[in-house]
Structure 1
Amino acid sequence: MHSPKLQLEGVTHSYRSGKQSVAALAGIDLTVNEGEFVTIIGPSGCGKSTLFNIIAGVEEPTGGTVILDGEVNGRRAGKTGYMPQQPLLLPWRTVEENVMLGLDIRRVPRKRAQEQARELLKRFGLSDFAGHYPASLSGGMSQRVALLRTVLFHPSFLLLDEPFGALDALTRLSLQMWLQELWQSLKASILFITHDVREAILLSDRIYVFSARPARVLRVVSVGLPRPRRPEQLATPEAAGLEQELISLLLKEQTA
């Protein structure tokens, strides 16, 4: 068994809304091992993005323990590659310059940053778009660029918050296959949020099912489909049964 990249133990979070305290997370236990692809699914507004903010060091938990790379409740900012739902590419920077953004922030020398960005763009088939600006890119291409920017910022642990949610079905499927290739090539650890149960099954080693807010873990499911995964595997009895199990859990939470 690989060592844990991330461990959450009893993580809680509350925030103020007027004079009231609102609980967002209710004792989350979660582990992402080295090189593992883990997905969180749950009802809208249950606190998944809040949890990502805590892991990334943007917010602090109200209670519980966050262990990242073996460091207990330490400084986490800059230790993950965090990609939000929207690509948020800077319109005045080219594709290459957008991919370099994290290195620029870290004051990596310009020549070395360019070399790293160009190598990554070439490795994952985007070299021809290096000089393009975001306005000329399709939605799927913008997501690819944003993902490579996230990878270059911190390639060993990626937090991906519904990165394909706004894409059409065919583009989404293409990006899922591309992400799988990227993940296996980099041997990265990924924590992924999605509302798409089939996407979770296709990509994940394990799936955490969250309850409605305040979020707690309802179930942890291992996905035993062989890798590399292909879309046709979703039609197998194992995948179909898992899909029904997960949908039933989510529907109960949606109507609770």
Structure 2
Amino acid sequence: MNDAAPALALAGVTCTFVSRSEPGQRYTAVREVSLRVGEGEFVSVVGPTGCGKSTLLNVGAGLLAPSAGTVEVFGAPLVGLNRRAGYMFQAESLMPWRTALGNVMAGLEFRGVADARGAAEDWLRRVGLGGFGDRYPHQLSGGMRKRVSLAQTLVLDPDIILMDEPFSALDVQTRQLMENELLALWAAKKKAVLFITHDLDEAIALSDRVIVLSAGPASRPIGEFRIDLARPRDVAEVRVTPRFIELHEAIWAVLREQVLEGYRQQLAA
């Protein structure tokens, strides 16, 4: 294995699907997409609704095989599921019949880890839920459930973290708290992160690089921006700095027309 290889590399990835509603029709979600996430790097992908952001994340997770192109994980071709990655979904992924502790323990138990309980309790403490292990998901607030989901992902100690708009359903204050917690946990472990979001402010506040995708179909990267804001960051405070505003203006200049095009396509559908 090449130690200098990126944690995750997509090269020339195209994903084409057969339409279920119109037999014989094919839809290309993304076309010839190449992107890399270095070891310890935080990369966000932004783009209009329906541009294939989640498709790329599923390709990186090994949940979806591309129609063309290659995927490598630390220099080795990806075959089947990406077992070096943890995936935090946008939708609720907690098992309602398990407590918070039971949910965090689940992945460790499936792997046969001896001290699953101890590791799960440690991660619940890290995300600020040390006293809530016996609560069921319906007894937790939306922000608390997201913290459990974060612990559930990170307790497995993945080398790559894939995140699909994990905080989009939260209110602004809770979202900022979760973003800061994520940055603190990431800074401690420096895992590779591929983060999908519609929120440009969120992407800039969290990331080392931001990649902009065009409107679909056949979406492709049309811009890449290095985020040279000092770390550590507070996501609320960094948003009012002159450099953040400059970066936002530069990225929005590329993204704006794609968002408008995506909106026009939705109206025409």
TM-score w.r.t. length of structure 2: 0.90
Counterpart among 138, 161, 164 of residue 167 in structure 2? 164
Counterpart among 211, 220, 229 of residue 216 in structure 1? 220
Q: Residue 186 of structure 1: CA displacement?
A: 1.9
Q: Equivalences for 1:118-197 in 2 at 5 Å? A: 118-197=121-200
Q: Residue 237 of structure 1: CA displacement?
A: 1.8
Q: How far, CA to CA, are the matches of 1:28 and 1:10 in structure 2?
A: 5
Contact 1:68 1:76 in 2 (8 A): no
TM-score w.r.t. length of structure 1: 0.95
Q: Equivalences for 1:26-175 in 2 at 5 Å? A: 26-109=31-114, 112-175=115-178
Gaps of 5+ in 2: 262-269
Q: Deviations over 1:124-177 (max 9, x none)?
A: 322111111111111011001001101123432110000010111101111110
Contact 1:155 1:186 in 2 (8 A): no
Contact 1:5 1:34 in 2 (8 A): yes
Q: How far, CA to CA, are the matches of 1:73 and 1:115 in structure 2?
A: 32
Q: How far, CA to CA, are the matches of 1:202 and 1:103 in structure 2?
A: 32
Identity percentage of aligned residues: 43
Q: Residue 227 of structure 1: CA displacement?
A: 0.3
Distance 1:235-1:2 versus aligned 2 partners, 3 A rule = farther
Q: How far, CA to CA, are the matches of 2:41 and 2:256 in structure 1?
A: 27
**How many aligned positions are there?**
254
Q: Residue 234 of structure 1: CA displacement?
A: 1.5
Q: How far, CA to CA, are the matches of 1:205 and 1:84 in structure 2?
A: 21
- SS in structure 2 at match of 1:127: coil
**1:9 and 2:11 are equivalent in the alignment:** yes
Q: Deviations over 1:169-227 (max 9, x none)?
A: 10111111011011111221111011111111110000010011121001110000000
Q: How far, CA to CA, are the matches of 1:82 and 1:252 in structure 2?
A: 30
Q: How far, CA to CA, are the matches of 2:178 and 2:113 in structure 1?
A: 29
Gaps of 5+ in 1: none
Q: Residue 104 of structure 1: CA displacement?
A: 2.1
Distance 1:154-1:11 versus aligned 2 partners, 3 A rule = farther
Q: How far, CA to CA, are the matches of 2:241 and 2:12 in structure 1?
A: 36
Contact 1:32 1:191 in 2 (8 A): yes
Tell which deviates more after alignment, 132-141 or 112-121.
112-121
**1:199 and 2:202 are equivalent in the alignment:** yes
Q: Which amino acid aligns with 1:93?
A: R
